Chains A and B, each alone.
Chain A
Amino acid sequence: MKRGNVISAAGLLAVLLAAVPLAAFGLPPGDPARGEKVYGRCFACHAIDRDRTGPRHAGLFGRRAGSIPGFPYSPAMKKAGANGLVWNEETLDKFLQNPTKFIPGTRMTYAGVKNDQDRADLLAYLKEATKEAKQ
């Protein structure tokens, strides 16, 4: 195999691996830049680095639901966390698609991000933005 082919294969593998977490449960690969625009829909209630009507998103991935100290979560969200719900690509995908169906009683009274590509883009953005931000 020529060197160029090796590099191309490695690049392709990296792209595929990056896409796997979302593609594994049916979402197309996400575009973080486009996801930042989708995040504008969340901006009435959320920010990356501060609690607002909704909790901050910094450190979101891997965080147990309803677990930011002092944030006034709904009893339903606290219960979901106590029952083991942890935010990752899969759980966020389900929640964002229809928040009040995934967690009845949540205070996130939003119909959801219905478009698969929008949700994939949003998750791609959140994964980058929440990793860099201070918790």
Chain B
Amino acid sequence: MPELFIPSFRTLARRVFLARTGQAALSATAVALLAGNEALAAQSKSGTKDVTILNTALGAEQEAIAAYQVGAESGLLQKPVLDLAVAFQGHHKAHADLLASAIKKLGGTPSAPKQPADYHFPTSKLKSQADVLRFAADLEKGAVSAYLGAIPLFHNRDLAKAAGSILGDEAMHWAVLRQALGETPVPEAFVA
């Protein structure tokens, strides 16, 4: 990690870590994203399609949670990066909770997470903190693209809004991870 970069990143990581104490408030925000959506349950065919989108997203969130667990248990992450990874994992858990809640509201069944070994993470290629950060950054970038590609497909605009909220969070993860790797945090004006 470049020397010039360390102080600002440590400060950033500490702030993210401290923000975890506000997770109850975040949960309230998540609940608010779906508040007043009793109409969700009344949907039929379009609701079924939304359930499919939500379950695909849930599967990716469950994998992200498992991936951060692998990173946290790898012994390769040092504080404050370790705290940051745990905080980001907490965000993904919140996303998964929100998605599962929406699926249930629509009358669907949330997909169950796989066993950790069934994800077949490329652990043999993770030999340093930078490797773990790169792996996480690629996952987050992919997640941003996945939500971007899913949002136009939602029939329910409130679900699209909730997905947009998650997209924003994952884009921030990606930027922070890029910064931790010493790369330009926001490389372009648009995401794809």
Contacts and interface: CB of A to CB of B under 8 A. Distances in A.
B70 interface: no
12 contacts: A41-B145, A41-B192, A44-B60, A44-B142, A45-B56, A45-B142, A53-B59, A53-B63, A100-B153, A107-B52, A109-B53, A110-B149
Nearest to A46: B142
Contacts of A118: 192
Nearest to B191: A41
Interface centre among A40, A53, A112, A118 (most CB of B within 10 A): A53
B85 interface: no
Interface of A: 38, 40-45, 50-53, 74, 100, 105, 107-112, 118
Interface residues of B, number: 27
Q: Which of B56, B60, B63, B120 has the most CB of A within 10 A?
A: B56
Interface of A is mostly: loop
Contact of B145 (A44, A51, A74, A107): A44
A53 B149 contact: no
Contacts of A110: 146, 149-150, 153
A42 B56 contact: no
A111 B152 contact: yes
A74 B55 CA distance: 12
B141 interface: yes
A109 B146 CA distance: 9
B183 interface: no
B120 A44 contact: no
A109 B150 contact: yes
Interface in B41-63: 49, 52-53, 55-57, 59-60, 63
Contacts, number: 65
Given A51-B120, A53-B63, A41 B149 contact: yes
Interchain residue pairs A-B with the least CB separation, the first 7: A43-B142, A44-B142, A44-B146, A41-B145, A110-B149, A53-B59, A109-B53
B139 interface: yes
Nearest to A39: B142
B5 interface: no
Given A43-B142, A110-B153, A112-B149, 13 more contacts: A42-B142, A43-B141, A43-B145, A44-B60, A44-B139, A44-B144, A44-B145, A45-B59, A45-B142, A109-B52, A109-B150, A110-B146, A111-B152
A116 to B, nearest CB: 14
B180 interface: no
A111 B163 CA distance: 14
Interface in B160-175: none
Given A40-B142, A107-B52, A109-B52, A45 B153 contact: no
